[in-house]
Amino acid sequence: MQLTGLKYGRLLMNIVDFPVAKTLTENATKEEIEGMLKESGKLVVKPAFMGGAGKKGKAGLIKIVDNYEDADTARQELFFARHKQGNAEYKAKGVTFEEFVESDAELYFSITTSTESRKPVMLLIVEGGVEVEELPDDKKAIVSFDPFEGLQGFHVNDALIKLGCPKQFISPLVQQLPKLWELYDNYGLTMIEINPIRMKKGKRPLPVACDVKAAFDQDDPAYKRANLPLEVFATELTDFELEINQLRTYQGQSDVVEINPQGTILPFMFGGGANSAATEVLGDRAIFSSDFGGNPPYQKMKDIADICYKHWLKQANIVQIIGGKANNTDIFVTFKAMLDALRENIKLNPNVHVVIGRGGPQVVQGMIYARDLLDSLKIPYKMFGFDSSMIGVLNYTLELDAWLESKKGK
């Protein structure tokens, strides 16, 4: 699941005492709103979405107000706002009134785990409110670090110097940003993103979180330590999502989010990095976003694949298997499970193609098994090893899908 915004994001920040913009919810009284206006001069009013809704500003869903009447009008307009991203539509359930943070600089910060090295990775950009994928590499600092040592001040310091961050901001950021590793490491997070962090004006600049995104691994009991309200984890599930999520066990993840029921790529994603990359690159050509990492046993993986094929194989142009270089997932076992299920369900779509990009333990045995089975079924396929670019594999899948779509009806 994903958490977005400050309605609940501020509760996460408070756990580690990371400065966060003062926030009121939709139930704020006139006196509370006027009090915050008196203190900060302006308020930022945003719809409160459950899940991973982003790009609210570009959709015109963020209002900046300087009086109570405009704040109340914005509350009424945004309370049940709808926001469409690709083929997913989100409905707001309330609003937040957030302190307007006067600032001379903004930053982007995130922590995820690399699917290749299995190490945590910090991404830091000395610009806020940005689309990360649109920036050139020299505008980003990507720092992998040892999880046993954690994110240290020198990691942040060196990255900021590399990016040309103004000197007066470096010391406050070095003091505050490592706190987010403590949050990531101890509370079952698979991703934490602050965009933007604004450097609040004052005698000494103060980094303030002005928007928060977080993803939790609900198979890790540590997520309960955050003591977030249960409604954060209560989402409206489709029949497909519900069927998959019922397979949660102590071993192996089974996380799916339906993206586009009319999509043509059926993707089995392994690991948080593959999930992020594939969801971003494949866009609404993907039927769903998934993460089946964590070394699932054969029967669990086969059950997952059976459900996926039952719901989606008939319409799919491509079955995509994508992941980085795994450390502990047995590639042969997962490949065998997915491909055995495909053999049993192939009558639903004998014309499907298969694209595989994977690395890890027993990957050669897994690919040999895939080759022999797919050859026997006369299914076209393409396989990429661990030394191939994940983005390159995904782009190949997109190009193949577009070609297959162009052939339909001819």
Predicted pLDDT of residue 250: 43
The mean-pLDDT minimum among 45-54, 105-114, 263-272 falls in 45-54
Whether 1-20+102-234 and 239-407 share one fold: the answer is: no
CATH assignment of 22-100, given 3.40.50.620, 3.30.70.360, 3.30.1490.20, 3.40.50.880? 3.30.1490.20
Predicted pLDDT of residue 107: 92
In terms of DSSP bridges, do strands 318-325 and 265-270 run parallel, antiparallel, or are they unpaired?
parallel
Predicted pLDDT of residue 128: 64
Separation between Cα atoms, residue 197 and residue 111, nearest integer Å: 14
Which tops the pLDDT comparison, 400 or 202? 400
CATH assignment of 239-407, given 1.10.260.40, 3.40.50.261, 3.40.50.10860, 3.20.20.70? 3.40.50.261
Binned at pLDDT 50, 70 and 90, residue 313 comes out as very high
Q: Percentage of the chain surpassing pLDDT 90?
A: 56
Domain ranges of the chain: 1-20+102-234, 22-100, 239-407
Phi-psi region of 5 (alpha: psi -120 to 50; beta: other; left: phi over 0): left
Assign 264 to helix, strand or coil.
Answer: coil
CB distance 274 to 324 below 8 Å: yes
CB distance 176 to 183 below 8 Å: no
Separation between Cα atoms, residue 33 and residue 250, nearest integer Å: 46
Binned at pLDDT 50, 70 and 90, residue 231 comes out as low
What is the distance of C-alpha 90 from the center of its chain?
A: 16
**Class of the CATH domain delimited by 1-20+102-234:** alpha beta
CB distance 386 to 364 below 8 Å: no
Angle, nearest 10°, between helix axes 331-345 and 363-377?
10
Cβ-based neighbours of 127, under 8 Å, separated by 6 or more: 106, 107, 108, 135, 139
